[in-house]
Structure 1
Amino acid sequence: MTEAEQGVRMAVQCWDCGGTAVRSVGQFLMHGRDLWWDAERSCPHCNAHLCEHSGPEDLPEDVRAALLTTHGPARLRLTGPLADPVAALRALREGSAASLPQARELLDRLRNFELAGTAVEMAYWRARLAERGIAAEVANGFGRAYRYVGPPELREAGGPGGRPVRTADEFTAWMGGRTAQESAEPFTFVVDLSGALLLAPRRSEHVACAGGELVLSAGEIGFRRSEGGGGWEVETVSNHSTGYCPDTTSWPAVTAALTRIGLPHPGAFTYGAVFRRCPGCTTVNLVREEHYACACCDADLPEVWNVDPAAGV
């Protein structure tokens, strides 16, 4: 599939026989400029088939999450200076029916290479901007997105969101507001879909830090003063988040966020948590010492990440 067409297959219950059916959903550009999505269901057990949807309506959140967890997000990069911000603002308003403040927020995200979503959504924005004479390109390669898969009550409890830290000055301001004891402990962190690092005090829930949204990685991170005391560097960093259960392959998103801030780091997770879902009893396991067996039923665990059942089948 191209960036203007993306699909995923999801396991669902058959509406006819009750067995496991397959829901195939796709998002694409109609006539090269309009966002559409379609869906159909088929059951291999009873051969039932249903064309479920086709149209320009907004993509359902579960479908969008499945596309992002399967294919990962994309971002839109301007290929040159933004000579006409007013034209860009008009394109963003026309393409989203956004209010003027909302369109300005979208414009800020575009300027900072933080406008993120599915590859098709980014191709849509590229086409809309091109109609106004603004050149942009779709950038992929940011890795899988992760949904919250922890207890629903923790998501519903809410809590203060994480503080976005995108620059050295923002990081200095964050650390300046911490006590000596807080600074000596690891912080909760997530990397959001735009690639920004979000920080919260230790023992904060990752889902609260992320505002309930999908993330590129999540875990705990500790900082220390650099030699000479002139700055900060990363001392420890892990992907240990039982709410999102990100794979160790999420490290590139973390290193990109830290490099953007200018924080020296170890170059890899100092502790890499390995999460796997048992295909038998569905328990999520934290694999220790490469022992790939379920702690509840002793069934073999797969070697590849499989925690989120919403990812494509």
Structure 2
Amino acid sequence: MTVTEQGVRMAVRCGDCGGTAVRSVGQFLMHGRDLWWDAERSCPHCDAYLCEHSGPEAIPADVREALLTAHGPARLRLAGPLTDPVAALRALREGTSAPLQEARALLAELRDFGLSGTAAEMAYWKALLAGRGVAAEVADGFGRAYRYVGPPELRGAGGPGGQPVRTADEFTAWVAARTAEELAEPFTFVVDLGGALRLAPRRSEHVACAGGDVVLSAGEIGFRRSAGDRADGGGREVPGGWEVGTVSNHSTGYCPDTASWPAVAAALARIGLPHPDAFTYAAVFRRCPRCAGCNLVREEHYACALCDADLPERWNVDPADLGA
């Protein structure tokens, strides 16, 4: 991936005439090194035009969400063995002004799995690392990202955040802290932007589990004891003899497509958990083009439950880009 500029066109309300205007936002590298974002608004009804912003300030969360939703995340990985971790740590601190402990956590993530974000952000990190003599590569992530599309009041309602589980040791510690009653039920899960599995009690809201952020997938997941400690398909020891029994993309907060499975499979493979080859229950979400209601399609009956209009065959719950 060589893209260092991305943009999204979104429908917004015109402040002058009240009609539907177009807001164009983007993020890019200025002079190949400085990370900028910009936004402008134009109305085809009254010809109003406004340049909202252009500069290196921190990108607003809604703009970043729109870019990730429309284009999907990019992933930054080291191009080879890290021979100078101090140089990499300095580059990460330079780019974030983060405390040393936080920068060390970023470095560990970069070494173990890679960092994820918008394509421009990952190109920015690549340039900073290159300036310190550390080679890295930017590639596509695991499909598109999904932002929260459920009831707005639930987004700020709080609830238990999901516990990130990235390694076999973290899963072993997490499952040891669960009771038999808890393990008898599925858990709420999301796969966060960094590709990590986050777990919370079953009745938790997915948006709380994700900390309000965009996700690569979301649903419910159940674990069961395998026949005993054994190796997975990659020759690694299965954590504590556990495996995934059931897993779905059933989340009415994020309504992820069934195409989000590769992100889930990658998160489980990262831990070393044996798992099915696909969702054991694949929820099919569609938004009605007539009444805008969100539907869970059952038995392949593609008709809106609210107005009986035909539903599209392709996922359409949150088309962030007007050009999509």
Q: Deviations over 1:178-235 (max 9, x none)?
A: 2222222111111000001111122121112111111100001112222246512211
1: CA distance, partners of 2:220 / 2:132: 43
Q: Deviations over 1:121-168 (max 9, x none)?
A: 000000011011000011213111111121222222212211211122
> Cα distance, 1:21 vs. partner?
1.7
Which residue identity does 1:7 align to in structure 2? Answer: G
Which residue identity does 1:94 align to in structure 2? Answer: E
Mapped contact 2:78–2:114 kept (Cα < 8 A): no
Decide whether aligned partners of structure 1 residues 99 and 181 sit closer, same or farther in structure 2, where only a CA change above 3 A counts: closer
In the alignment, structure 1 residue 69 sits paired with structure 2 residue 69: yes
Which residue identity does 1:190 align to in structure 2? Answer: V
Which residue identity does 1:249 align to in structure 2? Answer: A
Which residue identity does 1:118 align to in structure 2? Answer: T
Taking the TM superposition and a 5 Å limit, the aligned residue runs for 1:248-263 are 248-263=258-273
SS, match of residue 178 in structure 1: coil
> Cα distance, 1:18 vs. partner?
1.8
Name 2:86's counterpart in structure 1.
86
Calculate the TM-score normalised by the size of structure 1. Answer: 0.94
Mapped contact 1:66–1:312 kept (Cα < 8 A): no
SS, match of residue 156 in structure 2: helix
Name 1:173's counterpart in structure 2.
173
SS, match of residue 304 in structure 2: coil
The one of 278, 281, 289 equivalent to 2:288 is 278
In the alignment, structure 1 residue 243 sits paired with structure 2 residue 253: yes
Name 2:129's counterpart in structure 1.
129
Mapped contact 2:249–2:283 kept (Cα < 8 A): yes
2: CA distance, partners of 1:178 / 1:10: 44
Identity %: 81
Mapped contact 1:75–1:113 kept (Cα < 8 A): no
Structure 2 unmatched runs, 5+: 231-240
Decide whether aligned partners of structure 1 residues 139 and 2 sit closer, same or farther in structure 2, where only a CA change above 3 A counts: closer
Taking the TM superposition and a 5 Å limit, the aligned residue runs for 1:139-288 are 139-228=139-228, 231-288=241-298
Mapped contact 1:114–1:195 kept (Cα < 8 A): no
Mapped contact 2:190–2:215 kept (Cα < 8 A): yes
Taking the TM superposition and a 5 Å limit, the aligned residue runs for 1:99-118 are 99-118=99-118
In the alignment, structure 1 residue 52 sits paired with structure 2 residue 52: yes
1: CA distance, partners of 2:167 / 2:153: 33
> Cα distance, 1:271 vs. partner?
0.8
SS, match of residue 221 in structure 1: strand
Equivalenced residues, count = 313
In the alignment, structure 1 residue 300 sits paired with structure 2 residue 310: yes
Name 2:300's counterpart in structure 1.
290
Calculate the TM-score normalised by the size of structure 2. Answer: 0.91
2: CA distance, partners of 1:67 / 1:47: 25
Decide whether aligned partners of structure 1 residues 2 and 229 sit closer, same or farther in structure 2, where only a CA change above 3 A counts: closer
> Cα distance, 1:65 vs. partner?
0.3
2: CA distance, partners of 1:205 / 1:37: 32
Name 2:14's counterpart in structure 1.
14
Name 1:35's counterpart in structure 2.
35
2: CA distance, partners of 1:271 / 1:98: 41
Q: RMSD of aligned C-alpha atoms?
A: 1.8
> Cα distance, 1:255 vs. partner?
0.5
SS, match of residue 220 in structure 1: strand
Which residue identity does 1:13 align to in structure 2? Answer: R
Mapped contact 1:82–1:134 kept (Cα < 8 A): yes
Structure 1 unmatched runs, 5+: none
